[in-house]
Structure 1
């Protein structure tokens, strides 16, 4: 038995699927054409657009690539902008930094 997805995760997947459907329709691309460009079946595109959690993430990535938006996926958890992680790291910094005495025999 698998653990149920948290409701915010389900909502996010449904929204992503809905956004992909809207992007496809605005570009006047059929589900069959999107499926062909993604290397997927039409049923996979339909499931993805419904936010089906069983659709592997690489299909969402392929759809984003078709729409020229794959960089958005690459930047989802950009560590350079991870405010919480950076704050936690900063809390571990030493309060003082002392100079080390020169090693004997150093020039």
Structure 2
């Protein structure tokens, strides 16, 4: 694999590919059929299932769509549930908010 890819990322992609392979086989879908449904080549499906980090993410998304699982991708980093991001935002909130004096041309 590419030495510039962090090991946890490489492992996650390999697991994702293995999970796609298992999901495909459990659904009794051939690699040829999955490739056709995804609009991809069979070699792309094979590379994806082997966890090749060079396969573009849209192919993984297309596989999820074929399996009826695209919402899993949509919910990966749901900003409404991003506890770290929300906490960091809340820490930057002002302690109090003051009204600005009205200017002469204000409504």
Both proteins in one fold, TM over 0.5 = yes
1:4 to partner: Cα distance: 1.1
1:102 to partner: Cα distance: 5.8
1:24 equivalent in structure 2: 24
2:51 equivalent in structure 1: 51
Structure 2, gaps ≥5 residues long: none
CA RMSD of aligned residues (A): 1.7
- Give matches, 1:53-68, under 5 Å: 53-68=53-68
2:7 equivalent in structure 1: 7
Q: How many residues align?
A: 106
In 1, Cα distance between the equivalents of 2:71 and 2:57? 14
Deviations 1:17-52 (A, max 9, x none): 000000000000000000000011111100000110
1:98 to partner: Cα distance: 3.1
What's the TM-score, normalizing by structure 2? 0.89
